[in-house]
Chain A
């Protein structure tokens, strides 16, 4: 490179002082606020985990709750959380995926389908408490079964349904059309193409969506309070669908605001840490293998 003349160097060196200062202030500000806020939120969550996790014992995780004395556990609530989650997913995954596949693959592009799509979007924006009210009207009033695990699980499934539908639709739509063409050109039926090409290729997106839904359902409380109640049957491993079904998230709220046990604060701290831990675990356990997997198929 040849040496630039002195005059030219000067004219490049001249900078608009105010704009440059603004730029520097702006960059500093963005760094500061961005890093601080994220650190702040993570710090708070870390604090919650730190307050709860070290105090956890098997007795607490497994033990029966106590209404009056100290030392109650969260066993039935924790069990109910998983049980409710499981039932709601069993109901909502097949329905949600089938609806998503319909929208992505079979639906002709007409007005009726536009309506279905608006319904799915609308349903996904309905506040969770509305699903609770719906659950009360359906199970408590119409079927007269009271506050039960079954009612809670079905209401929760309704809450999951639109999310699963959209995630499935989007994942399947994002599969390159070339792969679909290749499969059809080999003489496969639509079902075979969906089962052997579209779903396997879209799987990572679908699983991610299911994890998000599961995490959300695990921590959901408003729906459960209204439809499954704030008490448990008081027994461990109670598979009865008609038992009251308080979950861990509800228990956290209940202990903190309604219960009269002297160690409510400590129970709440421990329950919080369990809740965060499980939600993070659901996300990590299912999504990490997918990250590796996607790297492998790309390589």
Chain B
């Protein structure tokens, strides 16, 4: 009935033993070919992985080598602690931009984290499931909206609005940029926090409800603490995105190298300054080196954040 039976019946033990040897049988060519393609594929995969690493190392090396040339003409102190940025007159104090980046990031976090956590709780705990099934994909789509669109939104909608509200002549500045960035990072932070909250085991909730606590108490005292490291992870990712964001910020921050005296003073941050000035300078000039050094600074900050994320993930894995 089966031709496969025929071979099974015919196979005396010795024949079977012989057939599994590498160099035997008519299928040898095929085996060799398979073995070849297998190892070629493997080597290609290794090469690609190494390539990805090389890209990072090249970036690090190039940014560092170019950036460090700044210190031929500019003292370490001047670059980091002087707020006098006037490259035409050989003054390269980057404090304004460093301050701007730090202030903008903090301000963005202050606005976005509370909203994001509330939205995450809304998604994970409060909404009926049909609404959740609509909102989650919507937020995922929002993550994909280009940053330049958010910048345009800020420029055409938000700034006129702020101008009317405050009565200022100009509304470009830290607050406008922070609001735009908040809109940008909100979907990211809330979706990842949402996942973290949803991943809290049901048994914790059951235990809390069984002890007679209501929803508010359960969420605040049991669920959120249990999802703590996941939420922190989301916040750091959002923060990394805010620090590195360029175009949305460029369009609303005003791009003026001055220390901001209020939230509505045009100023500049590391990224906006790089993108506004890089195309107009010679490659072999101190000005350009200084811009690369700022880039290197950004790079170091974002890599440090990855280290923080790794640390958190390890801790999270230990806790669970």
Contact = CB atoms under 8 A, between A and B. Distances in A.
Contacts of A31: 122, 126
A22 B214 CA distance: 9
Nearest to B40: A191
Nearest to A279: B144
Interface in A128-185: 128-134, 136-138, 140-141, 158, 161-162, 165
Interface in B10-69: 34-35, 37-38, 41-42, 44-53, 55-59, 62-63, 66
B118 interface: yes
B275 A190 contact: no
Given A20-B214, A134-B63, A280 B149 contact: no
Q: Which of B49, B53, B157, B244: most chain A Cβ within 10 A?
A: B49
Contact of A42 (B45, B138, B283, B303): B138
A38 B52 contact: no
Interface stretch (A55-63, A68-76, A220-228): A220-228
B98 to A, nearest CB: 15
A124 to B, nearest CB: 8
Contacts of B170: none
B115 to A, nearest CB: 6
Contacts of B219: 26
In terms of DSSP, what is the predominant structure of the interface of chain B? Answer: helix
Contacts of A67: none
Contacts of B35: 189
B271 A129 contact: yes
B283 to A, nearest CB: 5
Interface string A32-59: 0111011001101101100000000000
Nearest to B184: A41
Given A98-B48, A102-B45, A226-B278, A45 B145 contact: yes
A27 B216 contact: yes
A202 interface: no
A95 B48 contact: yes
Contacts of B41: 190-191, 194
B222 interface: no
Interface stretch (B73-81, B199-207, B294-302): B294-302
Contacts of B315: none
Contacts of B155: 256
Contact of B34 (A29, A99, A121, A189): A189
A256 B246 CA distance: 16
Interface residues of A, number: 88
B153 A44 contact: yes
Contact of A95 (B51, B141, B142, B152): B51
Please tell me the size bucket of the interface on B: 35 or more
B146 A220 contact: yes
A269 B153 CA distance: 10
Contacts of B115: 33, 37
Interface in B183-223: 183, 186-187, 213-217, 219-220
A130 B121 CA distance: 35
A115 to B, nearest CB: 7
B147 to A, nearest CB: 7
Interface stretch (A2-10, A210-218, A233-241): A210-218
A267 B81 CA distance: 42
Given A95-B48, A125-B305, A129-B298, A256 B251 contact: yes
Contacts of B152: 48, 252-253, 256, 268, 272
A201 interface: no
A226 B275 contact: yes
Interface of A: 19-20, 22-23, 26-27, 29-31, 33-35, 37-38, 41-42, 44-45, 47-48, 94-96, 98-99, 101-103, 105-107, 115-116, 118-123, 125-134, 136-138, 140-141, 158, 161-162, 165, 189-192, 194, 212, 215-216, 218-222, 225-226, 249-250, 252-253, 256-257, 265, 268-269, 272, 275-276, 279-280, 283
* The 3 A-B residue pairs with the shortest CB-CB distance in the complex, in nearest-first order: A219-B146, A127-B244, A34-B122
Given A105-B45, A106-B42, A127-B244, 7 more contacts: A27-B126, A116-B52, A126-B299, A129-B271, A137-B66, A219-B147, A268-B152
